[in-house]
Amino acid sequence: MISSLSPLLLHINYCVLPIQIPFYRMGQLAAEKHTKYILQIEKKKDDIESALTEHLRINGAYWGLTTLDILGNLKAVEQETVISWVMSCQHESGGFGGNIGHDPHLLYTLSAIQILSLFNKTQILNIPKVSTYISALQNKDGSFSGDKWGEIDTRFSYLAICSLSLLNSLDKINVEKAVEYIVSCKNLDGGFGCTPGAESHSGQIFCCVGALAITGCLHYVDKDLLGWWLCERQVKSGGLNGRPEKLPDVCYSWWVLSSLIMIDRVDWIDKEKLVKFILECQDIENGGISDRPDDAVDVFHTYFGVAGLSLLEYPGLKAVDPAYALPVDVINRLFLK
Ligand code: GRG
């Protein structure tokens, strides 16, 4: 049964105990350097990284802008320029593309809605049009396709549910069926995969647990079993991997940690060691965070590193909501309206 809990109550229910880390025992977060790193990405339009990521520019904008907001520096960007660029990525169907003139997909549509939420500007959207685009992608069995080409994945269930919830339009889909499909992707190890029977992976677990949290259906999760699987993701270095026998990666600081918080099992990992791992992945000189120590930095890992530290209550950072992947004050502003 679908709970009538409002999304507003959800993040208030997560229990995150403050950690007491003696910060003199580890490096510090190079917050100023990371701000500079994010702000200069936009200016480097001609480099190879920029060319390779052109198709997902709107995701990059969400990662970068949310990082700036967590660091308390969102005001450093020209809001009007960003908003008008985001709106020019909208397709006539109502969905958003990854860049101007690109095909729409749920992945880019959520990023567009998240960016507008950061700037308190979702009201400029034609909400019925956007939500019609999203709801048309729900299939009979409750699953979602990512776009008109039809691929199905629990990532797309999360993208649709999170987007519609931010637009206060969850009533446009069959939530009960959507939840039923997600639950059908639950495995015997307590985790979730991309389709029924597919291997558990931390990224998919975030999507399924996040969607269940937003819809008030966390009772479908076997919290002890999943908590055990998730805390087993921590390796010797303190970093987290996405599934057994894989290398740690800073991005799993988000996928695993947010899931552990949503199921109230975050104390089952060594938080101090994870903070140390994330800090070791910083480029102290030029800013930015990489997947593992000494690798090249990028905006994706910078976001997940900073957001992970926020979930770990690292001092000086805004709190982030583990289900919506947006600062808690942004979520409160949306749902308290
Ligand atoms: C709003 C935060 C937010 C997300 C939107 C798209 C999406 C929802 C979530 C993606 C979840 C996911 C599948 C994350 C995994 C990303 C990743 C690092 C995949 C790499 O997979 P492999 O198999 O890596 O290459 P491993 O680490 O397993 O070797």
Convert the pLDDT of each residue in 112-133 to its tens digit: 999 999 999 999 999 999 999 9
How far, in Å, CA of 41 to CA of 52, rounded?
13
Please give the number of the atom of ligand 1 that sits closest to the Cα of 241. Answer: 27
Predicted local confidence at residue 26, as pLDDT: 58
Q: What is the mean pLDDT of residues 207-211?
A: 98
Phi, psi of 252, deg, nearest 5: -70, -15
194 exposed, middle or buried (CB, 10 Å; 0-12, 13-18, 19+)? buried
Tokens describing residue 234: 């921590």
Confidence check: pLDDT of 38 > 70: yes
* pLDDT grade for 11, boundaries at 50, 70 and 90: very low
CB distance 242 to ligand 1 below 6 Å: yes
Predicted local confidence at residue 8, as pLDDT: 33
Choose which residue among 109, 117, 206 to substitute to test ligand 1 binding: the one with the highest number of ligand atoms within 8 A of its C-beta: 206
Confidence check: pLDDT of 21 > 90: no
Q: What angle, 0 to 180 degrees and rounded to 10, lies between the N-to-C axes of helices 106-118 and 57-70?
A: 30
Confidence check: pLDDT of 219 > 60: yes
CB neighbours of residue 48 within 10 Å: 8
199: left (phi over 0), alpha (psi -120 to 50) or beta: beta
Q: What angle, 0 to 180 degrees and rounded to 10, lies between the N-to-C axes of helices 57-70 and 299-311?
A: 40
CA dihedral sign of residues 312, 179, 163, 200: positive
Among the listed residues 216, 215, 274, 214, the one whose alpha carbon sits nearest the alpha carbon of residue 240: 274
pTM: 0.92
CB distance 158 to ligand 1 below 6 Å: yes
Predicted local confidence at residue 184, as pLDDT: 98
Distance 25 CA to ligand 1 centre (A): 31
pLDDT in tens, 66-80: 999 999 999 999 999
Please tell me which residue, 174 or 11, carries the higher pLDDT value: 174
CB distance 144 to ligand 1 below 6 Å: no
Q: What is the mean pLDDT of residues 44-65?
A: 81
* pLDDT grade for 288, boundaries at 50, 70 and 90: very high
Q: Find all residues with CB under 8 Å of 224, minimum gap 6, and list them.
A: 190, 265
Distance 163 CA to ligand 1 centre (A): 18
Tokens describing residue 261: 């918080």
Q: What is the mean pLDDT of residues 152-166?
A: 98
Predicted local confidence at residue 49, as pLDDT: 67
